Amino acid sequence: MRKLSFLLFSLVLLLFSCTTNMVIPYMQPAAVDMGGYKHLAVASVVPYNGLIAPSGYIAGADVHVAGLHIYSGYRASSSESIAAYATDELYSVLSDSGFFTLLSPERTDSIIKHGFLGSDISGEFRSLGYDAVLIPRISSMSVSETIYSVPDYDWWVDSEGVRHRIVEFDYYFRQIASIDYSITIIDTETGGIISQRTFSDTAKREDILDRRWSRLEDPSYLFRRMIRSFNDEIESLLVPTYNEYDVSLMPNKPKNESVESAYKAAGDGRILEARNAFLDAWESSQHLPSGYNAAILYACAGDYDSAIDLLSAIMNVYSDPDVRVLYRDLLSIRVRNQQAEGQITGESSVRESTSASGNAVYGIAMGGW
């Protein structure tokens, strides 16, 4: 049995050692086409202004904590600090992407504030060269806090050999926080909404409670953690992003001695050398693995058209599932890459905005109208 296990392990190791993994890079388009809105004004995050923390002591989950008088860790001022943190995170994500020319939250807030006093908000932004305004808002926050006990049993034996049970209690707290965080993007040319999305999350923490406390720990860090978790979603929503497609070279079966060195060249990153060797073998003998591998290496260099054309030629000769899958996936990759390039250059067609009148759309986005 041990010998059989060793042979199986050796076979698996041999198979993996003969596999050369390649990476095909491409650009993933943003979910919202911002190609025509790359001059973007970003407002500060509007804080949640509702009451989320209960007054008085936190209710205990059982009778053993009934005598503990501990206040909620959440403070009314936390909503402002959480909104400020969300503003910094949002601006950093958009700035680091390099995709937008941004107007700072301070200047954006000032223009919107003065606009509510009578001026045309969209007109003010247009005069500064900004195509769109992003209004972020924390539309909902909630905190649930509980304290509870867990019994800890111990035993002792008296002098007569009788066992006795001792019960002591450990005390714990639980905090559950939830948030709804929305962003609204407004076209300064039409005053209409380009896109409106909401991100939601819930986070929980449970830990040991020190009975000497009069107040639980501040759960604001839970909200900050959730806000950070939205960064990738926001970036993929608004910014074309780099992506990779992982694929393995087809093994040299049936074996062709002339391409042995091509596998090593591909593994060493000498893509052009390996591709030419594989291509020669395909054209001279229609060696399936060589044709397939040459197509992969075309795609690794960003030449999706040549890769797809080669795979199409292979499918005219062979009916191979790996070839069909790669052909289908590269068609999709080429489309996505073209869409992303259009967004980056600004040549893509932007989405039509919904109609809106005057400054009202800004007030609605901020939750005030």
The answer to whether position 8 is within a domain reads no
- Mean pLDDT in residue range 32-61: 84
pLDDT tens sequence across 134-189? 999 999 999 888 888 888 777 777 777 788 777 788 888 888 999 999 999 999 99
- Asked if 272 contacts 298 with a C-beta cutoff of 8 angstroms, the reply is no
CA nearest to 177, candidates 142, 130, 148, 127: 142
For 178, phi and psi rounded to 5 degrees?
-130, 150
- The residue type of 180 is D
Q: Does one domain contain both 155 and 283?
A: no
Q: Does one domain contain both 199 and 263?
A: no
pLDDT tens sequence across 84-121? 999 999 999 999 999 999 999 999 999 999 988 888 99
pLDDT of residue 213: 80
pLDDT tens sequence across 271-290? 999 999 999 999 999 999 99
**9: pLDDT strictly greater than 60:** no
Q: Does one domain contain both 252 and 217?
A: no
Measured torsion, CA atoms of residues 285, 289, 290, 293, in degrees rounded to the nearest 10: 160
Mean pLDDT of the chain: 88
The answer to whether position 359 is within a domain reads yes
Q: Does one domain contain both 204 and 248?
A: no
pTM: 0.81
Q: How many CA atoms lie within 13 A of 316 on its CB side?
A: 7
Q: Does one domain contain both 234 and 146?
A: yes
pLDDT of residue 119: 85
pLDDT of residue 144: 87
Containing structural domain, residue 190: 39-242+348-365
pLDDT of residue 229: 96
- The residue type of 75 is R
For 329, phi and psi rounded to 5 degrees?
-65, -40
CA angle 37, 41, 44 (to 5 degrees): 140
pLDDT tens sequence across 69-89? 788 888 778 889 999 999 999
Which CATH number do you get for residue 340?
A: 1.25.40.10
- What band does 218 get if pLDDT is binned at 50, 70 and 90? confident
Structurally, the chain folds into a number of domains equal to: 2
pLDDT tens sequence across 193-213? 999 999 999 999 988 888 778
Measured distance CA(222)–CA(200) in Å, rounded? 13
